[in-house]
Each structure stands twice: as C-alpha cells, then as structure tokens.
Amino acid sequence: MKDLFADLNEVQKQAVSTIEGPLMIIAGAGSGKTRVLTYRIAHLIDKGVDSFNILALTFTNKAAREMKERISLLIGGTEAKNLWMGTFHSVFARILRAEAIKLGFPSNFTIYDQQDCINVIKKIINELQLDTDIYKPKQVLGRISSYKNNLITVRAYFNNPELIQADTAAMRPKIGNIYQAYVERCFKSGAMDFDDLLLRTNELLTRFPESLAKYQDRFRYIMVDEYQDTNHSQYLIVKALASRFENICVVGDDAQSIYAFRGANIKNILNFKKDYPDAKIIPLEQNYRSTQIIVEAANEVIAKNRDQLEKNVWTQNPSGDKIPVYRALSDADEANYVASEIFSLKMSQQKKNKNFAILYRTNAQSRAIEEALRKKNISYKVFGGLSFYQRKEIKDLLAYLRVLVNPKDQEALLRIINYPARGIGDTTVNKLIVGADQQQKSLDEILNQIELLGNSLGINKPTIDKLANFWTMIKSFQVLLKTENVYEVAMKVAVTSGILKTLKEDDTPEGISRVENIQELLNSLQGFVDEQTQLDEGDSSLNFFLENIALASDLDSRDEHDDKVSLMTIHLAKGLEFPVVFIVGLEENLFPSQMSLNTRQELEEERRLFYVALTRAQEKAYFTYATTRFRWGKIVEGEPSRFLEEICEKHLEILNISFTNTIRNHSGLNSDLFADDFAPRYPKSSDPVYKKLKGQIKPPQNLKSISNAKLANPVGGSVANLKIGDYVLHDRFGKGKVVSIEGDPENAKALINFENEGDKKLLLKFAKLKVLG
C-alpha cells in the first residue's frame, strides 16, 4: 500500500481526509479535482469502508475505468472491483434493470439511442398530420428531453398552463400531444431513452420508499465528478440517495460548465450549501497541468465572465512557450499548418501522435484537418461524429439482436421486418400497426398469432405466410440464444437473415466496407464473449452487450496505447489533458458560435468552452483562425474570435505567415494583425485560394478497397495452415498450444490450451493468432 498522502498538496490532503459529511470542492481546471476524488476513494477503502458502499459518478465510463485502475494500483488487491463507478446513465441503467418490473417495464428493456427517438417522433408527427417544418423532430425531441430532465411528466405538462402557453406562443401547440404519444409508445415498446434512465430512477426512488432505503443503505459514500454539468434530474437522484448518510462529495468547476444547452444547471453548485448547511467547501487553486502562460491566458479570458465564483488559479510549472496564433487564409491552409506543426514537433522533439489534440467547436471542422493529416501520413482518430454503431448496416444487425432480447422493441422490429427484402410491404406493415392498436396489443403479440389473425387484418394468405416465416426465424434465433453464446447467435443471424448475402452482392468499395463493418461487429461480439468468460462474474448476455453499446460514448474507445492524434469537439475534451493542444477555427460566428450571440448567458457559456479548451493543454497550446472558410456549401469570410483579443499580447506569438507558410513575423503586434482582417481579402473567383477551396469539394475518397478474397479470410495464410500441436500467440490469452481443429476451413475452430488461461475454443477466422511453429 502506497502512502496516499505523499502525492498530494496540503489542501488536497485535507479534501481526501474529509470523509464524513457533505463536501464540495469547487476548483479551477487542472487543480487535481479528479485526482482528489480518486485518492479519496482509495483512502475510504484504506480506512475500512466496504467498496460495495461507494458510488462514484463520472463524465465518461472510460474515466471511471481509469479511476478504478488507479485505485487498484494505490491500494493493491482486488477491492476496487466492487466499486460502482460510471456515468449516471450506466449506473442507473444497471439499477433499473433490477427494478424495472416495479415501473411496468420489462427488465430487458431496450435503450433507445437518439436516432431511435427521432424515428418515433417522426412517425408521431406524421400520424398527427403536423408539419415537420414547424415541428422539427430533433427540436421536438430536445423539448421533450428538457421536460424530462426537469421532471415534468406528461401529466405535469398538461397541468401547467405556462408551459402550454409557451409552446403555443412558439407556434407549436401540439408538443404536449407528441410528448404524450411518445411516452406511450416507448412504454409499449419496453424502451427507455437516455433521459428516461434518470427520470425513471427518480420515479423509482420517489414511488418506492423501500427501493430508496435499499440504495441509500448501499451507497453510503457518494462522489460526483464534473458536478457543474449535472442536470436537475441527476441532482435529485444524488440528493435522494445521499439524504440518509449525507456522505456526499461533489467536485466541479463553475468556469467549466458547458452543457447548459442540454439542461445542465449551474445552480446545483450554488444550491449545495443550501441543501447541506454544514457542508465543508474546499477550494483548490494550484494548477498542476499547464504552463504559466496557459494558466494566465485562460484566467484572462474567463475573467470577462460576470457569472462566476471567485477563484485564483496559479501554477508553479515553468512559464512555457507563448501561444502561437496562426492566421490562415482558408480552412485548408489552417489544416495544413496544424499538420505541418505536428510533423515538425514530432521530428524536432520526438513527440508522439498521441501527444496532440486538435479541438474544434463543431464536428464539421474535422474534415479539412483529416485531409491534411492524411496527406502527411499522421494517424489520427476522430471522436464524436457518426459512431460505428450508428452505421446503417450495424444498426440493422443490432436491430435483429434487439428484437431477440426484447420482442416488444417496435423500432427494431419495424427496421427488420422487411430487411433484407422479403416481400412484406408498407401496406402490410401498416395493417399490422393498426391491428395492434385496435386490439391493444404489441406487434410481437400480433405476429405470435399471425396465422390466426392475419385474415381479419386484411392481409392475404401469401403475405401471412411471409410474416409467419419471418417470425419463425426470429423465434428460432431466440431458442438458439438459450444454448449458444452471443457471438454464435449473431453470426447465425447475419447469415440466416440474409444480411451478409445482401451486402456481399454490392461489390463497390462502399459495399465491401459494409461487409467489413459487419465482421468488425462480429469480432467485437467474440471479444465480448472472451472477455466476459474471463471475468468471474461477467455478464455475457446479449442484453448486457446491447446495453454497453447503447451507453458507450465514443470517448470510451480512447486507447492510450493507440498512437494517434485526437480530433474532437471541445465538449468531448472535458476532463482530458494533452501535451500539445490546437484550438482551431477561432473565428467570430464559429467560436463563439453564431447561435450564442443573442444573450450574455450564451456568450458566457462559449467563453467557458474556450476556457475548457485552453486548459486541456499541458506544455503548449496553439490558436488558429481562417479568414475564409468553407461552410454550409459556400465560402464565408471570418474575423478572428473575440476570445483572442481577450488575451494579453504578451502571452501570444503572432505568426504572420504567407500562404506558403514560409515567412514568420514574430512582432507580437496582434492588434495590427486583427486590424488587417478588416481589409478586403480573399477570395475572388479568379483567386488561387478560391480555386484551391473549390478543388477541395470532392467527395471524400473511400480508402478501403480490400478485395473480396481478403475478406473471406481476413487472417491470411498463416493461420489457415494451422496444425494440431502448433504453438500460437494470442493478443489477450498469450501463448498456447493447438489441441484440436474442427469444422470446414471457412468456419474452422481450434481448441487451444493457453499456458495461463486454460482451454479456449476460438473461431480462426477472427481469432488474432500468430503461429509460433
């Protein structure tokens, strides 16, 4: 056991050793809040608190995993295993699984992602014959989400004339009706959306005192990181759970509250003292992350905000380099500058790709940067954006799996009922939906009796047969699920449903990459099965796999061993740190965003976002802006962001760079430079910059063009020739010896005896094996 206190300063020690009673740590960026939380948990366990009684809520599941690992290292042993740590959504999804029946939901309820929710809303808007230009589905969903996060149920909505009036005044009087239909439909489908995971937890804790008592008793020590970004619903859950023992510790930074648009409520910080009058409040002011210049520049910007708690963040770190400001002539120029700078720092300072982050305000900005990095052969990973699990082919296969677990999941069922095409048209589907509504049944109940009911629903015999065949197939997969592991079942689904066959018929590069994606999903299922069988109490159910996917944020896939430059929006970068950070697109109307210029509060949130971005940097930060940028299909001109002007010139190194990146002027006269931006500038249509920009508008090349032959056996030749008695090396299981091989060459499986992991049966097609001979 390590001396926990050796790694902490005096104030941090005080925070870690205060274990009883309410405690709030409100402190600046990089001052060790997350570190204190980690050490505090280790200290609690060291003091004899059962890890079973500790709950810690983090911003991402990855952050929770890392904290757990750190705690294990600090205290040794396996105690940290029992800790409940994760995001609000994943922790309370787990609780709801156990308690769902009480709320009228099946325990295998589906978790709808945003796309599922939007699909449901679109259908409702359509059925109510409303105009989607007025009732924009995404906006309607946002509205419903904000009601839910403020615990305004449908009934509460209709009892609140003010809300109804507000929606009516916004020319959307039917929002309440959509909300009502939406909630009913989700309930009928046995599905919860993200907001429901919190709303239903609140319902559970309020309606069922015995459940409240049970979890209060269990979670005797509660900790919340990034407290500034909790919403009302989360606040109430924490408050309810903590009300018995009041051992609650929240850490946060009001200057980093950046999720107001999603309902985060900064008042939660201000109310803490009211809720717990005895609360101890500890400020941390020493920043350990960044150079002096970065800390001072960040302080200067945030000082312009009126709504903030007084703080004095300082650091003993070296003063560091000034922050270069690069004025680019276009987004492509900006991207090339960033890529060249990364390239040269890698050369001159032996930096690794993973030491760099490029942060931007909107996802769309990544495209130009990606292109520039690709040209320089710098590997990168884009976080956010369209995640792997949202791709059509992946959602299709997942929809089959969802129906197996929860046949009431109507979104999933409608997605696959005629995919791949099996002659069940929209008219038939509508008849099924109408029939189900009339008979107060769910679609799966109708399908269960389709041979009996089909006729009365006006469906002809051949179509009834098709429906019956489809449903028999689904049932047969469900039976399989009882005996086979989830990988085997998914493989069977992909083949038998015809998904793989249909995708393989398309031999364009896009089609091939879809097949690859399906194989990647199957790989991850195999990985999941392997991983769960290794854990003593692993839950290897399909349900658990699907839940992990539904709750996974893209950030969870960040791998420290992956040497890649990180590209992400600033919102995602919260809590992270990188040696070198580029903040790009520092232009008025982009950052601060155009949408935020209406009120002081909105502008202040943008400024906090800037503060978050800059304080991610440890050794060096860069600012860039472009005087012209390709946005919304046209070229727009940009002025430097006001945030640049809020930083004292002495912290900046103004680079006056020509288009070719050669001449640098280190004059430091940023005001001159900014003045220059009011002068007429590029582009004119005859201008080379304009032409260059236009040249960029090509659709992105699909880089994957792997032949079908390779797809059929992605492992290549070596494993194909595997013999009994060969020694092999597996990524995770280590060294082993082949005991037997079975099955046809396409689907051969080998039983391998691993030195440390014992016997495992692996499908050679996917197993990452190296033959040692």
Task: Give least dist CB 331 to ligand ATP, A.
Answer: 28
Q: Is 226 a catalytic residue?
A: yes
Helix axes 114-127, 137-149, angle to 10 degrees: 110
Instruction: Say if residue 695 carries a ligand binding annotation.
Output: no
Dist. CA 237–CA 240, nearest whole Å:
5
Residues 6+ apart with CB under 8 A from 77: none
Q: Dig out the tokens for 99 from the structure.
A: 């308690």
CB-wise, 339 or 617, nearer to ligand ATP? 617
Instruction: Say if residue 30 carries a ligand binding annotation.
Output: yes
Q: Is 225 a catalytic residue?
A: yes
Residue 440's identity, in one-letter code, is Q
| Contacted by 289, from Mg ion, ligand ATP, none: CB < 5 to 8 Å by type | ligand ATP
Q: Judged by CB under 6 A, does residue 35 bind ligand ATP?
A: yes
Dist. CA 73–CA 41, nearest whole Å:
12
Cα angle: 442, vertex 446, 452; to 5 degrees:
160
Decide: 381 and 562 in contact? Cβ < 8 Å.
yes
User: One of 35, 616, 620, 765 is an active-site residue; which one?
Assistant: 616
CB-wise, 514 or 620, nearer to ligand ATP? 620
Dist. CA 430–CA 741, nearest whole Å:
49
CB-wise, 200 or 311, nearer to Mg ion? 311
Q: Judged by CB under 6 A, does residue 86 bind ligand ATP?
A: no
| Among the listed residues 4, 16, 23, 33, the single contact to ligand ATP using CB under 6 A | 33
CB-wise, 251 or 689, nearer to ligand ATP? 251
Name which of 32, 50, 64, 515 is nearest 283 in CA terms: 32
Question: How would you list the strands of the sheet with 54-57, edge to edge?
Answer: 84-86, 54-57, 221-224, 248-252, 23-26, 280-282
Dist. CA 611–CA 593, nearest whole Å:
15
Stretch that binds ligand ATP, among 27-35, 234-242, 374-382, 602-610 (CB under 6 A): 27-35
| Among the listed residues 11, 16, 23, 31, the single contact to ligand ATP using CB under 6 A | 31
Name which of 511, 577, 573 is nearest 32 in CA terms: 577
Instruction: Say if residue 107 carries a ligand binding annotation.
Output: no
**Site residues (vs Mg ion, CB under 5 A):** 33-34, 575
Q: Dig out the tokens for 562 from the structure.
A: 């992956």
| Among the listed residues 4, 15, 26, 30, the single contact to ligand ATP using CB under 6 A | 30
User: One of 110, 201, 228, 256 is an active-site residue; which one?
Assistant: 256
Decide: 754 and 533 in contact? Cβ < 8 Å.
no
Decide: 28 and 282 in contact? Cβ < 8 Å.
no
| Contacted by 727, from Mg ion, ligand ATP, none: CB < 5 to 8 Å by type | none
Task: Give least dist CB 37 to Mg ion, A.
Answer: 8
Instruction: Say if residue 425 carries a ligand binding annotation.
Output: no
Instruction: Say if residue 34 carries a ligand binding annotation.
Output: yes
Residues 6+ apart with CB under 8 A from 655: 324, 325, 326, 327, 664, 665, 666
Q: Is 33 a catalytic residue?
A: yes
Name which of 221, 165, 233 is nearest 44 in CA terms: 221
Stretch that binds ligand ATP, among 25-33, 305-313, 583-591, 708-716 (CB under 6 A): 25-33
| Among the listed residues 196, 253, 411, 547, the single contact to ligand ATP using CB under 6 A | 253
Distance of CA 683 to the CA centre of its chain: 38
Dist. CA 59–CA 61, nearest whole Å:
7
| Among the listed residues 11, 12, 91, 497, the single contact to ligand ATP using CB under 6 A | 12
By CB under 6 A, the residues from 542 to 601 that bind ligand ATP are: 575, 577
Kind plus residue range of the DSSP H or E element containing 56: strand 54-57
| Among the listed residues 4, 11, 29, 342, the single contact to ligand ATP using CB under 6 A | 29
Task: Give least dist CB 575 to ligand ATP, A.
Answer: 4
Q: Are strands 628-631 and 634-637 parallel, antiparallel or unpaired?
A: antiparallel
User: What mask, x for binding ligand ATP by CB under 6 A, covers residues 608 to 627?
Assistant: -------x------------
Q: Is 677 a catalytic residue?
A: no
User: One of 113, 226, 444, 605 is an active-site residue; which one?
Assistant: 226
CB-wise, 32 or 137, nearer to ligand ATP? 32
Dist. CA 474–CA 405, nearest whole Å:
11
Name which of 369, 392, 393 is nearest 382 in CA terms: 369
| Contacted by 29, from Mg ion, ligand ATP, none: CB < 5 to 8 Å by type | ligand ATP
Q: Is 34 a catalytic residue?
A: yes
Which residues pair with residue 111 across a beta bridge?
192
| Contacted by 9, from ligand ATP, Mg ion, none: CB < 5 to 8 Å by type | ligand ATP
Q: Judged by CB under 6 A, does residue 288 bind ligand ATP?
A: yes
CB-wise, 284 or 644, nearer to ligand ATP? 284
Name which of 261, 213, 269, 283 is nearest 241 in CA terms: 213
CB-wise, 9 or 448, nearer to ligand ATP? 9
Taking residue 154's Cβ as centre, other Cβ atoms within 10 Å add up to 18
Instruction: Say if residue 427 carries a ligand binding annotation.
Output: no
Residues 6+ apart with CB under 8 A from 705: 509, 512
User: One of 99, 193, 196, 225 is an active-site residue; which one?
Assistant: 225
Q: Dig out the tokens for 163 from the structure.
A: 């809300």
φ, ψ at 298 (rounded to 5°) = -65, -40
CB-wise, 575 or 683, nearer to Mg ion? 575
CB-wise, 234 or 336, nearer to Mg ion? 234
Q: Is 362 a catalytic residue?
A: no
| Contacted by 519, from Mg ion, ligand ATP, none: CB < 5 to 8 Å by type | none
Q: Judged by CB under 6 A, does residue 228 bind ligand ATP?
A: no
Task: Give least dist CB 41 to ligand ATP, A.
Answer: 13
**Beta strands, E only, 132-184:** none
Dist. CA 542–CA 528, nearest whole Å:
10
Instruction: Say if residue 33 carries a ligand binding annotation.
Output: yes
C-beta nearest to Mg ion: residue: 34
| Among the listed residues 4, 15, 34, 581, the single contact to ligand ATP using CB under 6 A | 34
Decide: 326 and 622 in contact? Cβ < 8 Å.
yes
Instruction: Say if residue 102 carries a ligand binding annotation.
Output: no
Task: Give least dist CB 655 to Mg ion, A.
Answer: 31
CB-wise, 355 or 524, nearer to ligand ATP? 355
Task: Give least dist CB 270 to Mg ion, A.
Answer: 20
| Contacted by 90, from ligand ATP, Mg ion, none: CB < 5 to 8 Å by type | none
**Beta strands, E only, 570-706:** 578-583, 617-626, 628-631, 634-637, 652-655
Q: Which whole-number Å values give the CA distances from 418 to 186, 318, 382, 429, 433, in the listed order?
A: 22, 63, 34, 9, 14
Binding residues for ATP, by number, are 27-34
**Footprint of ligand ATP (CB under 6 A):** 7-9, 12, 27, 29-35, 253, 256, 288-289, 575, 577, 615
Residues noted as catalytic: 33-34, 225-226, 256, 616
Binding residues, by number, are 27-34
